[in-house]
Amino acid sequence: MGGHGIPASLVEETMAANRKLFSLPIDKKQALLADKNNRGWTPFGEVRVCVCVSMVIYGDEALCRWHSQHDQ
């Protein structure tokens, strides 16, 4: 993937941080459980796949209508 303007060094640094996080033992990751804003670690099988099916942009805000695989 390219053309996004993100330096390759930053992409690699981010991927290295992801590898480090996901290699932690489960008890260490449990201490980083996702909060109400979905920031943090989520155990395998607890994530719902959602797709933004339409987006409206108001100034600096983007509002998205979501479709979840569980909505069906």
Domain ranges of the chain: 8-71
pTM beyond cutoff 0.75: no
pLDDT beyond 50 at 71:
no
Query: What's the CA gap between 62 and 47, in Å, rounded?
Result: 22
Task: Report the alpha-carbon angle 56-61-67, nearest 5.
Answer: 50
Condensed to tens digits (0 to 9), the pLDDT of residues 7-52 reads 889 989 999 998 998 899 989 988 888 888 777 787 877 766 666 6
User: Between residues 28 and 1, which one has the greater pLDDT?
Assistant: 28
Token pair listed for 46? 């607890």
